[in-house]
Structure 1
Amino acid sequence: MFADGGFELHLVGGPVRDAVLRRSVSDLDFTTDARPESTEAILRANCSTVWTTGADFGTIGGLFRGEQVEVTTFRADAYDRVSRNPIVRYGDNLVDDLERRDFTVNAMAVSVPGHEFTDPFGGLADIARQTIRTPASPESSFADDPLRMLRAARFAAQLGFGIDPETLDAMRRMAPELGRITAERIRDEFVKLLTAPDPVVGLRILVDTGLAEQFLPELPALRMEIDEHAQHKDVYEHSLQVLRNAIALEQDGPDLLLRLAALLHDIGKPETKDVVDGGGVTFHHHDVAGARLARRRMRDLKFPKADVQAVSLLISLHLRFYGYGDAGWTDSAVRRYVHDAGAQLDRLHLLVRSDCTTRNRRKAERLRRDYDAFEDRIARIRADEDLRAVRPDLDGNAIMELLGLEPGPQVGRAWAYLKELRLERGPMPRQEAESQLRAWAAAEGLAPSPDAE
């Protein structure tokens, strides 16, 4: 289609890299010497759907024979190097377009229909060496777009590649430049890294280069000093191992919320660390502190509200199970655990199991058996009760009728009392629930009116 119009067209970037690596290829990216208006005309004549959301940057997208394609005019942008915003300028040749791309492994092209392979910056050799390197100097590339430093860590995690020493050195020196990038773009790149096959590789790069300090300082803060007088587990290494444990337990692909909770579950420890007499160390209430810190950091990174709530809840609950095997729990305590976890119960199970990183096999096996028994107990109680939606035995209408109340805060107080009673005792016959409510109301000065019976 483009050749018939007298234009060049080249498959470029990620699809070429992934084809070389024998990885699956989905969306197809092309570059062309055609200007956007010509590209749009060609696609509209041949695609079932066309979108122009990227037209200001020279990109037109379409659905062609069931394949999603995006076609971008050759670019030769300049950058103000204060913000990330490019001054869009179209180029007139393929090599200049490839040079402005992030890494050599993404700066290869295959022409269509001729299938001529173009690799002016050694991307194929870098794939063979499993190396991440920039086409231009890393200083120039990262000054143009500092987010590329995060992308280098992300590609290392996705592809299992190392980063070229010169490129890595530039990342260390230029880490503060990340401050020019919006929180949303940083979040999106971080999510891609965290859901990669081995995010620990990328996370280590972020911490070692100082990039994590720019947007997630709680992570490098876990590298607390361990001295001979105040021994404690290396919290940073422990957290990375918990993340790996959680990934091993995933059933249906990457679970972002579980991975975030695993990575951040102990970020409250530096704040709560206390050295006690005799050289011991405590981290009292680090679960509460960690939930607060995670909530604040995720909000700063513009995560959706539901994700913030889910991760902070998981962190706040990740210690509650410990001691179950020794002290034993009442049925009401089990109900409350399930009720408080809510929709995150299954993730909480995985997080608690992942948090065991001890090398003591006997201790690890005991914790595993205890949690197996705990989950079995939840299942037995759930067989008799609906633990996912624990509700009082009387609803608001029944409370108002029984106590002769109008809608208002007093009804809410009565409902909350019955809910606590339900968690403590389990389901009750209606007559017993009514009797308990009357006794509570009398003690609270809310005795039913004479005509309420």
Structure 2
Amino acid sequence: MEDPSTLLTKLGDDDLQVLRRLSSEGTAWIVGGWVRDGFSSTHNSDLDIATNLVPADVIRLFPDSLTHGARFGTIGVRIPGNGKTWEVTSLRSEAGYTDGRRPDAVVFGKNIIEDLSRRDFTVNSMAISFPDGEFLDPFGGIGDLRSKTIRTVGNPSKRFSEDGLRILRGYRFLSASDLWSLSDETEAAMKECVSMIDNVSSERIGSEVRRIINLPSGGNSLKLMQQHGILEKILPGANLPDRFRTTGDISVDMALLYADSDVGPNTSSDTLKENLKLTKEEISIFDLLMSLQVQNSLVSAEEIRRFHVAVPPEWKGSVMRYFESKGEDRSQILSTIEPPVAGAVPLVDGNTLSEFTGLDPGIRLGRLKGHLHRLQIERDMTCINEVLDCVGEIDYVNGDPLDWELLSWP
């Protein structure tokens, strides 16, 4: 574990520029995730800074800054010629969280210890002053970091009642590795405060769930969330498979949770739209995965050629991850069956088909053309005559055109 005195040597030149300018008129402390991750020699977190300057002073020092969070004391500091943004927050003393989401009022303070006391978990309540490098750890964060314990700062029920998102953040920190655990008091309060999730916006919940599934032990965190009743609150009817491991693909992981659920595909799709705010494309991929009979899919050359053509390229990775997670790896057979030589475009157009069959434009001609396109792809035909020869297999005069399958997958 890193020595606190060496952490400041990890700062970049642009970080130092921001800190020095703040320190020229006030005091600055590096806080939160950057300090936490620094002790693990993994600076994956953005540099967050606390200062005793009020927002107006920070804006004066950095005129190009983002100010949408100014009323809560947070400025997105930017410097010319640099694409980075530093979150600089004035020291605060807050007066209650009536809505369980944001403080009722923000009073700017001068005491860094009081400011750290407002934070969610002890491992996030450490700070390093700049430029002298004094390490502040008033709530035992370094000890919890060493023991890999998630523990709230102060009363856990109070912390979670202030902002229900902190519950999900706790599960997210657990997802970093199998070595992390919750303190008994924190775990009990998470279960006790389940209802606080109702006060958190779907966008914020969706953001945390995405982070959880992208971490090494995301599956274990989701299992614990299920045991605590949190998962049912967020994703009603979701059912974790045995030995579930997340893929990091939101559409795939949600399909795995709902594949063996009693909840129907339409209901689960609506849940994901409303509760996690998945995008239209993510929902479309989820719907596709939910329609699959995995054991019987992608086993024939004809179907694989349809897969090559009918499924958008950016969706295919999700399909493969879903199959692999279900224990059905199709990578080898997919590599042996090439996409159709003639490509995805129909070889026979409507005018040619109308002249050949005598059919007038309409549903019969349209469905016939679509069905021939499917046969062209399945059989890897390369010329118009091959496709037209298939017309003899179809009762295109008296048959029901709705029986003629169009190109699709599955």
1:135-146 matched pairs, under 5 angstroms: 135-146=153-164
Q: Distance in 2 between matches of 1:307 and 1:140?
A: 36
The structure with the largest helix share of the pair is 1
Among residues 29, 35, 49, which one is paired with 1:10 in the alignment? 29
Give a deviation string over 1:166-212, Cα, whole Å, max 9, x none: 01001111112211111111111111111112102211221121111
Q: Distance in 2 between matches of 1:339 and 1:100?
A: 55
Report what 1:352 is aligned to. Answer: 323
Report what 1:69 is aligned to. Answer: 86
Residue pair 2:285, 2:318 contacting (<8 A) in 1 also: no
Counterpart of 1:2 in 2: which secondary structure?
Answer: helix
Residue pair 2:340, 2:377 contacting (<8 A) in 1 also: no
Q: Distance in 2 between matches of 1:309 and 1:212?
A: 22
Farther-moved stretch of structure 1 (142-151 vs 312-321): 312-321
Counterpart of 1:50 in 2: which secondary structure?
Answer: coil
1:82 and 2:99 matched: yes
Report what 1:309 is aligned to. Answer: 284
The offset of 1:404, in angstroms, is: 8.2
Residue pair 2:249, 2:318 contacting (<8 A) in 1 also: no
Counterpart of 1:53 in 2: which secondary structure?
Answer: coil
Higher relative contact order (CA 8 A, sep 6+): 2
Report what 1:277 is aligned to. Answer: none
Q: Distance in 2 between matches of 1:26 and 1:167?
A: 24
Residue pair 1:314, 1:341 contacting (<8 A) in 2 also: no
Among residues 246, 257, 270, which one is paired with 1:264 in the alignment? 257
TM-score (norm 1): 0.73
Q: Distance in 2 between matches of 1:411 and 1:50?
A: 61
TM-score (norm 2): 0.80
Report what 1:449 is aligned to. Answer: none
The offset of 1:418, in angstroms, is: 2.3
Report what 2:12 is aligned to. Answer: none
1:132 and 2:150 matched: yes
| CA 425–68 in structure 1, closer or farther in 2 if over 3 Å, else same | same
Report what 1:429 is aligned to. Answer: 383
The offset of 1:426, in angstroms, is: 3.2
Q: Distance in 1 between matches of 2:112 and 2:357?
A: 80
The offset of 1:423, in angstroms, is: 4.1
Farther-moved stretch of structure 1 (136-145 vs 200-209): 200-209
| CA 407–71 in structure 1, closer or farther in 2 if over 3 Å, else same | farther
Counterpart of 2:62 in 1: which secondary structure?
Answer: helix
Farther-moved stretch of structure 1 (105-114 vs 332-341): 332-341
The offset of 1:398, in angstroms, is: 4.7
**5+ residue gaps in structure 1?**
223-235, 248-253, 272-288, 357-366, 447-453
The offset of 1:399, in angstroms, is: 4.9
Paired residues, number: 374
Equivalent pairs: percent with the same residue? 29
**5+ residue gaps in structure 2?**
1-20, 402-410
Q: Distance in 1 between matches of 2:332 and 2:349?
A: 34
Give a deviation string over 1:427-453, Cα, whole Å, max 9, x none: 25313434655976544699xxxxxxx
Report what 2:68 is aligned to. Answer: 53
Letter in 2 for 1:420: R
Residue pair 2:354, 2:360 contacting (<8 A) in 1 also: yes
| CA 383–425 in structure 1, closer or farther in 2 if over 3 Å, else same | closer
CA root-mean-square deviation: 3.1
The offset of 1:59, in angstroms, is: 1.3
